[in-house]
Amino acid sequence: MLKKIASYFRKDPLPILPGEPHTIPSGDHPISPRQITSGAKKVVEQLVSDGYEAYLVGGCVRDLLLGMQPNDFDVATDATPEEVNRLFRRARIIGRRFQIVHVRMGKEVIEVTTFRASHTAEHKGRDQSRRSSKGLLLRDNIFGSVTEDACRRDFTMNALYYHPQDNSVFDYADGLSDIQQRLIRVIGNAEERYREDPVRMLRAVRFAAKLGFRIEENSARAIGKLGHLLADIPPARLFDEVLKLLMHGHALATFRLLREFGLFKLLFPATEEALSKDPGYYLEFLEQAMTNTDKRIRADKRVTPAFLLGAILWPAVLERRKAFESGNSSPVYALQQAAGEVVHRACQRISIPRRFSMPMREIWELQLRLPRRAGTQASRLMENNRFRAGYDFLLLREDAGEIEPGLGEWWTRFQEANEHTQEEMTSNLDQPKSRRRRRRPRKRSSAPQGDHD
Residues taking part in catalysis: 72, 74, 154
Task: Tell me the C-alpha to C-alpha distance, in Å, between residue 116 and each of 149, 169, 405.
Answer: 5, 19, 57
94 pairs with which residues across the strands? Answer: 100
Q: How many CB atoms lie within 10 A of CB 424?
A: 9
22 pairs with which residues across the strands? Answer: 171
CA 285 – CA 400 distance, rounded (Å): 5
Q: Residue by residue, what is the 3-state secondary structure of 280-299?
A: HHHHHHHHHHHHHHHHHHHC
Cα dihedral across residues 79, 81, 85, 90: positive or negative: positive
**Cβ neighbours of residue 325 under 8 Å, at least 6 residues apart?**
331, 334
CB contact at 8 A, 57 and 100: no
Distance of CA 50 to the CA centre of its chain: 37
- DSSP element (H, E) containing 306: helix 305-325
User: Phi and psi dihedrals of 326, rounded to 5?
Assistant: -70, -20
CA 88 – CA 104 distance, rounded (Å): 9
